[in-house]
């Protein structure tokens, strides 16, 4: 049995011996109750977390032992041992202090907060930092099943990572984690660009993220591909700012640990992007000691090669991609572009496509060197004339095609056999197929280019 402290509505902490809260809250009241364990924790065996990286919360049940030790947890809060998750649902709001940080954060250094919500059927939740002064709170409350990541620079030396469990939360919080980014950002980067449109982003109108299958790629970093208005860039195919939380908090080329759903230059709430599975394969099969793998995730829905990606036309996606990659390259002279994965064409006409794309790649290679290129087959049904025509046009670009437009060091990777689509949608691949697409593209890349 653990002693603990509580406070109501931000008032002074009160120490309690035992596990019973000496008060009741009447129905309809909106008091906020915060609870934290005190004293020496009970020793428990530590089992390495699934992701293989230390510091996750919970680290098995050990870091949540303040919950499991309560004989009767406060109403609405329980530990699900089978799921390995905290479950909250009830009439009270909790701020549960789960994790005193091993060392205070360094004010002014960049960090990332990662949180997994394995199941959320009602309400919201978010991680928060406290201690040392004013708290940082996750930019936007989580309202859907996902792993989410946000970059921040603390202004004080925070000492505690907090999970905020509002009274309307009904769901499971798998873990929260903090990552120091300063040294990782300074390291030389192997940059992999993911560009194109919605079938690189991860489809539309469905949430098929699976925490068991779409594991975060925390060994890699990712640039979300957003540009702030202050930097002179807009965000999506129409020029709208589609994600204010990123738009206001991120500069050009600012990376964070890579998680699913992968955030490109387009909203991607709960969907599966092949980019995450490309990076997972590259991390697992081609590790590089002393170098960071960084994904520049630049795809956006409804973008057209002849408009958004053509520097001689509107070129907004091209310009934003170049700005992000150049910022990564400028941070360390040892960084290099290692490859570009491209999936775009559902919004473009086939006529002249190969010639224009060849020209765009030539321009990029003149800046970044002879990086390899993987073209992934677009969506749509093969019996459609437009799909067939665009596929034939893109296949001209593959090395050895014999066409005038072919590119050196260029692969064309077809869709997997039996590819499936979002139900009721014949254009966008579903999560199961996007996982296979990512693995196939990465395997082809490594086989051809090492």
List, in order of start, the domains of the chain with CATH numbers: 4-180 (2.60.120), 183-449 (3.40.50.1110)
In this structure, of 29-38, 121-130, 382-391, the range with the lowest mean pLDDT score is 29-38
pLDDT of residue 408: 98
Q: How confident is the model at residue 39 (pLDDT cuts 50, 70, 90)?
A: low
Pick the residue with more confidence: 179 or 365?
365
Q: Render pLDDT for 321-347 as a digit per residue (tens, 0 to 9).
A: 998 999 999 999 999 999 999 999 999
pLDDT of residue 61: 34
Mean pLDDT, the chain, rounded, equals 77
Q: How confident is the model at residue 297 (pLDDT cuts 50, 70, 90)?
A: very high
Estimate the crossing angle of helix 316-331 against helix 353-368, to 10 degrees: 20
Residue 241 to residue 312: CA distance in whole angstroms: 23
The pTM of this model reads: 0.80
pLDDT of residue 232: 55
Q: How confident is the model at residue 192 (pLDDT cuts 50, 70, 90)?
A: very high
Whether the pLDDT of residue 7 is over 90: the answer is no
Q: Render pLDDT for 247-275 as a digit per residue (tens, 0 to 9).
A: 445 668 889 889 888 888 776 667 899 99
Q: How confident is the model at residue 40 (pLDDT cuts 50, 70, 90)?
A: very low
Q: Which two tokens stand for residue 39?
A: 């004293």
Pick the residue with more confidence: 444 or 115?
444
Whether the pLDDT of residue 23 is over 60: the answer is no
Burial of residue 383 (CB within 10 Å: 0-12, 13-18, 19+) is exposed
Residue 235 to residue 242: CA distance in whole angstroms: 6
CA dihedral 93, 99, 104, 107 (to 10 degrees): -40
Q: Is 164 helix (H, G, I), strand (E, B) or coil?
A: strand
Q: How much of the chain exceeds pLDDT 90, in percent?
A: 40
Instruction: Judge whether 111 and 80 are in contact, CB under 8 Å.
Output: no
Which residues touch 272 (CB under 8 Å, ≥6 apart)? 202, 203, 208, 209, 210, 214, 260, 261, 430, 431, 434, 435
Pick the residue with more confidence: 63 or 190?
190
Q: What are phi and psi of 253, to 5 degrees?
A: 75, 25
Instruction: Judge whether 166 and 268 are in contact, CB under 8 Å.
Output: no
Q: How confident is the model at residue 92 (pLDDT cuts 50, 70, 90)?
A: very low
Average pLDDT, stretch 366-392?
95
Q: Is 48 helix (H, G, I), strand (E, B) or coil?
A: coil
pLDDT of residue 57: 40
CA distances to 50, 278, 311, 357 from 338, in Å: 29, 13, 22, 19
pLDDT of residue 46: 28
CA distances to 91, 103, 118, 254, 362 from 368, in Å: 56, 39, 40, 19, 10
């Amino acid at each position: 049995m653990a002693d603990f402290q509580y406070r109501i509505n931000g008032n002074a902490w009160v120490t309690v011996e035992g596990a019973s809260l000496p008060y009741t809250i009447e129905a309809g009241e909106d008091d906020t109750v915060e609870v934290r364990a005190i004293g020496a924790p009970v020793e428990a065996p530590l089992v390495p977390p699934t992701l293989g990286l230390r510091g996750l919360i919970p680290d098995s049940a050990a870091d949540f032992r303040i919950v499991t030790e309560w004989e009767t947890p406060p109403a609405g809060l329980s530990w699900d041992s089978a799921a390995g998750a905290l479950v909250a649902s009830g009439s009270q709001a909790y701020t549960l202090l789960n994790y005193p940080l091993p060392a205070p954060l360094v004010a002014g250094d960049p960090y990332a907060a990662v949180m997994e919500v394995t199941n959320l059927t009602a309400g919201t939740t978010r991680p928060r930092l406290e201690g040392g002064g004013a708290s940082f709170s996750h930019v936007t409350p989580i309202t859907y099943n996902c792993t989410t990541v946000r970059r921040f620079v603390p202004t004080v030396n925070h000492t505690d990572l907090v999970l905020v469990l509002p009274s309307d939360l009904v769901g499971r919080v798998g873990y929260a984690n903090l990552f120091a980014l300063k040294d990782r950002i300074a390291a030389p980067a192997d940059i992999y660009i993911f560009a194109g449109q919605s079938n690189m982003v991860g489809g539309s109108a469905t949430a098929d993220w699976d925490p068991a299958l779409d594991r975060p790629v925390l060994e890699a970093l990712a640039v979300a591909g957003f540009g702030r208005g202050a930097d002179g860039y807009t965000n999506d195919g129409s020029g709208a700012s589609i994600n204010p939380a990123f738009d206001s908090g991120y500069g050009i080329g600012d990376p964070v640990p890579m998680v699913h759903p992968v955030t490109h230059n387009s909203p991607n709430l709960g969907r599966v992007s092949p980019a995450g599975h490309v990076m997972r394969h590259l991390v697992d099969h081609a590790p590089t000691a002393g170098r960071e793998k960084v994904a520049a995730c630049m795809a956006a829905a409804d973008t057209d090669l002849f408009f958004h990606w053509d520097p001689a036309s509107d070129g907004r996606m091209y310009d934003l991609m170049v700005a992000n990659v150049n910022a990564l390259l400028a941070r360390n002279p040892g960084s290099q572009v290692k490859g570009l994965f491209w999936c775009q064409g559902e919004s473009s006409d086939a006529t002249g496509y190969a010639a224009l794309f060849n020209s765009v790649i030539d321009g990029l290679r003149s800046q970044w060197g002879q990086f390899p290129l993987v073209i992934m087959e677009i969506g749509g049904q093969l019996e459609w004339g437009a799909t067939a025509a665009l596929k034939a046009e893109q296949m001209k670009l593959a090395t050895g095609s014999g066409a005038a437009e072919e590119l050196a060091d260029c692969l064309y990777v077809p869709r997997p056999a039996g590819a499936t689509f979002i139900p009721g949608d014949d254009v966008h691949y579903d999560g199961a197929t996007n996982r296979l697409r990512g693995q196939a593209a990465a395997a082809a890349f490594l086989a051809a280019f090492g």
